[in-house]
Amino acid sequence: MIQTSRLFNARLHELLRAIYPREDSRALADAIITAFWPEGTQRRRRARAPSNGLWSERDAVLITYGDTIRDGQHKPLDLLQDFLVNHLDGVVNCVHILPFFPFSSDDGFAVTDYRAVNSQLGDWADIERIAARFHLMSDLVLNHVSSQGAWFNAYRQGQAPYDRFFFEGDPADDLSMVVRPRTTPLLQKIETRTGDRHVWCTFSHDQVDLNFANPEVLVEMLRIIRLHIDKGVRILRLDAVAFLWKEPGTPCIHLPQTHAIVQLLRLLCDHAVETVVLLTETNVPRTENLSYFGNRNEAHAVYNFPLPPLILHALQSGSARYLHRWQSAMPPAQLGCAYLNFTASHDGVGMRPAEGVLPAEEKDRMIQTVQAAGGRVSMRALPDGHEEPYELNCALFDALRRTFEGEDGHHIDRFLCSQTIVMSLEGIPAFYIHSLLATRNDHEAVERRGMNRAINRHRWHYPELLELLRDPASDQSKVMRGMSERLRLRSRQPAFHPNATQFTLTLDERLFGVWRQSLDRNQSIFAIHNVSNQPVAVSPSTINLIEDDTWTDILSGDRIALAGPEIVFAPYQCRWITNRA
């Protein structure tokens, strides 16, 4: 057995007593250590200390499905590898491959086998090949598994240990407070060998919730995590983690045991020889989301969920008022923690994070504008039986085709502005592949598959995509080229380190700006973005440029003189004004 330090043991036992007070913490600790560090693996004697060294300004993430690019001949993971190496080398250095396991529904999030790669994508060798060139992020779908997988079939047959793997509810329980992102019934009645049971389904009836009150479920998940680490995964995305622990009569979200389980995972990862980063996926309002940093003892990184609706609103309305107000109140990430910034993902633009930030009338105008652009709206059920918008389903490229005033000739510039804001902010920037490729709404997929989210999950035919990328006049070429140039430039700026100092600038509300300063204080960047379709002029003196430095906008090459003329921003123009060009 691996020798463990006194501090590690004490903390592990403390967490286990909090999560499983009725279990033998010593026996459970041994099972956890053996699961995470099986024979032949090594453990750090001391925990990896919190620091700013887990990431740098060179980090940028691509989010993609394993089969977003297909040609009907080659394995999709081989095509993804080709696209990454030949088109994104030096642009991104991390790739998040959305669930690449066998599944039954929800495009991979109803997993049937955590230990296998979906044969329609490739195999573990293909995953390891990508992990050898790029930091690899994978989904740890903790909350639920497929109703068609081996675990649930064994549960229905009453086979140990799976007969205790799933959370059972009682229709007589008070479930009125349960927070859910869906409108389908929470409990599903199913037949088992021992009689009828009602299983808990937070998301869909094909996604049955696991019972983490049974410690064997946690131990089994740790074995799976170890396998993924051994295959090259270095960032674990904890999918839907907020719903992990259930107690009828409560909201069943963000419960103390859920946070304690995340802390336990962090403890194990901080003692792993491999550098493993935990990222929590919690599409909830700001305070709830930030709680997953804990006291530097939970997630290393959290999704910055308010950004997508706020950036979309700013560019549709032509005003950064609400984006500025929100960003001004955002705390810097703690030491050893970082935000993951994004504008689009495989899901829609979540509206819950905009609660308390955007007024109802502004959200209504966003919804109307997205619908006018061909988008859809998905709803969630409220405890009182009513429904409200949960997310906007639309390809971001199409969502930004229009403003509140309608379509205009600034579409490409407006879209690039949205992506440049993400590049400029404190945190690690992440880009959905369909944003990089200027993908349009896929209405045919929505009709064929009967789900709103399919609108933003287009599958590209690789030869067609390559032809478009070679055509300098295509939207795909313009967006890919513009984003790639800015990301390569960004990677050379120390002031864009994910933890570099940030201050939100007070400017004309048509401008959104932040001041970034490198950790060594040698470089400053004033990143300013015109979110409107109007020219805006700014006096150099209003942004506090230091007189003795030479200032250059590294996006345009313009020299900025403190005593010079006003700095003019064309519609949707972005400037990175720095003293270290």
Distance between CA 417 and CA 527 in Å, rounded? 11
Report whether 555 contacts 525 (CB < 8 A). no
106 is in an annotated binding site: yes
Closest CA to 218 of 256, 265, 150, 274: 265
Report whether 368 contacts 529 (CB < 8 A). no
Closest CA to 271 of 552, 33, 557: 33
Residue matched to tokens 């674990």: 236
Q: Is 239 a catalytic residue?
A: yes
Cα dihedral 424, 572, 349, 254 sign: positive
Contacts with 452 (C-beta within 8 Å, 6 or more apart), sequence order: 348, 376, 377, 378, 393, 446
Distance between CA 132 and CA 308 in Å, rounded? 31
Query: Could you write out the three-class secondary structure of 249-305?
Result: CCCCCCCHHHHHHHHHHHHHHHCECCCCEEEECCCCCHHHHHHHHCCCCCCCEEECC
238 is in an annotated binding site: yes
- Whats the size of the chain, residue-wise? 581
Query: Could you write out the three-class secondary structure of 450-508?
Result: CCHHHHHCCCEEHHHHHHHHHCCCCHHHHHHHHHHHHHHHHCCCHHHCCCCEEEECCCC
Secondary structure element (H or E) that encloses residue 443, with its range: helix 443-449
Distance between CA 527 and CA 577 in Å, rounded? 6
347 is in an annotated binding site: yes
For the chain, give percent helix, strand, coil, nearest 5: 35, 20, 45
Does the N-terminal peptide bond of residue 161 adopt cis geometry, omega within 30 degrees of 0?
Answer: yes
Kindly state the tokens that stand for 219: 């131990």
Report whether 52 contacts 497 (CB < 8 A). yes
Kindly state the tokens that stand for 448: 């064929």
Cα dihedral 122, 127, 133, 138 sign: positive
453 is in an annotated binding site: yes
Q: Beta strand 233-239 with 277-280: parallel, antiparallel or unpaired?
A: parallel
Report whether 144 contacts 240 (CB < 8 A). yes
| Candidate list 59, 239, 413, 553, residue with the active-site label | 239
> Residue 395: left (phi > 0), alpha (psi -120 to 50), or beta?
beta
Report whether 343 contacts 435 (CB < 8 A). yes
Distance between CA 199 and CA 247 in Å, rounded? 14
Distance between CA 572 and CA 419 in Å, rounded? 11
Closest CA to 18 of 242, 262, 243: 262
DSSP string across 78-89: HHHHHHHHHHSB
Q: Residues with catalytic annotation? A: 239
Going by the annotation, the residues of the binding site for substrate are: 106, 144, 237-239, 346-347, 453
